[in-house]
Amino acid sequence: MKKIGFIGTGVMGTGIINNLLKANYNVSIYTRTKSKADPLIQKGATWYQDPKQLTENVDVIFTMVGFPQDVKDVYLDETKGIFQALKSDQIIVDMTTSTPTLAKELGEKAEKIGAECLDAPVSGGDVGARDGKLTIMVGGSEKAYQELEPIWKIIGQSYHRFGTYGAGQHTKMANQIMIAGTMTGLTEMLVYAKAANLNLQDVLNTLEGGGADNWSMENYVPRILKGDFKPGFFSKHFLKDLRIALEESEKMGLDLPATKQAKKLYETLVDEKGLGNDGTQALIKLWW
């Protein structure tokens, strides 16, 4: 059984790590603030003080951090980065939603030393990570993808390799474009239904049984109705994703007006209102 290293113990990372520990994997972890990793250490995870030391002691390194710059820091730091210790018999897997360009850079750099590399962003939020029901979108090495299938089965309910380096990230951008539409739709649905003096729980129950049903509505509207804006997925990270999606769209000569409008709304929520640490469902706060 492979020794696993996992860098990033946020909402999503913690759920994934817990499932790997339950499956009796040897898991080593790194996070910038050790105290945040204490619950995982108590469950059997081993903590290392930097990405380089972690890399020296495992077979596969997973990363799930916040922003593309964080990915660069973890992998490419000239003293403590993963590439300072990466060897030809290891696999690196970046599960951060990042840029296809950076995924390609990491993959080509790994190739030069004979290591295998995957970009493998996920969808499913905190619930999917907790329950081992993530959707995993993979780009990169076919060999590594097949080799890690036992792990995909533990942490995900579906997984697919879409092509070479960056293909996983492109697929995640397609996913986020779709989510942008469902989030604005469910928000405006609630705004409209409330203005019409309808019982919002009854509206939700009815819509879940018809053509308007979708994952975001099922998972986030109940939280909104309870006043629960804790992040299953941070608004600031979703805004980052929308910006990446639109940057990539421009490179391909595409105009995506609905996604642009969603980005503007989340910019208001995150940049103007300062609510980037709320979950994506906090978009309703622009009206309520």
* Model pLDDT, residue 288: 95
* Model pLDDT, residue 277: 97
How many residues can be counted in the chain?
288
Per residue in 106-125, pLDDT (tens digit) is: 999 999 999 999 999 999 98
How far apart, in whole angstroms, are the C-alpha atoms of residue 6 and residue 4? 6
Residue pointed to by tokens 């998972």: 219
Instruction: Sort strands 60-63 and 91-94 into parallel, antiparallel or unpaired.
Output: parallel
Could you tell me the CA-to-CA distances from 193 to 30, 203, 207, 223, 246 in Å, in that order?
45, 8, 12, 16, 31
Per residue in 48-99, pLDDT (tens digit) is: 999 999 999 999 999 999 999 999 999 999 999 999 999 999 999 999 999 9
Q: How many CA atoms lie within 13 A of 133 on its CB side?
A: 7
Could you tell me the CA-to-CA distances from 261 to 2, 185, 241, 254 in Å, in that order?
44, 12, 14, 15
The pLDDT > 90 percentage for the chain reads 95
Q: At what angle are helices 200-207 and 215-225 packed, to 10 degrees? A: 170
CA-closest candidate to residue 207, choices 196, 197, 193: 193
pTM for this predicted structure? 0.94
Per residue in 231-278, pLDDT (tens digit) is: 989 999 999 999 999 999 999 999 999 999 999 999 999 999 999 999
Average pLDDT over residues 145-155: 98
The average confidence (pLDDT) of the chain is 97
Domains of the chain and any CATH numbers: 4-164 (3.40.50.720), 171-286 (1.10.1040.10)
Give me the catalytic one of 172, 236, 240, 263.
172
Q: Alpha-carbon Rg of the chain, whole angstroms?
A: 19
Q: Is 172 a catalytic residue?
A: yes
Query: Torsion angle, CA of 267/272/275/276, rounded to 10 degrees?
Result: 40
3 state DSSP class of 159: strand
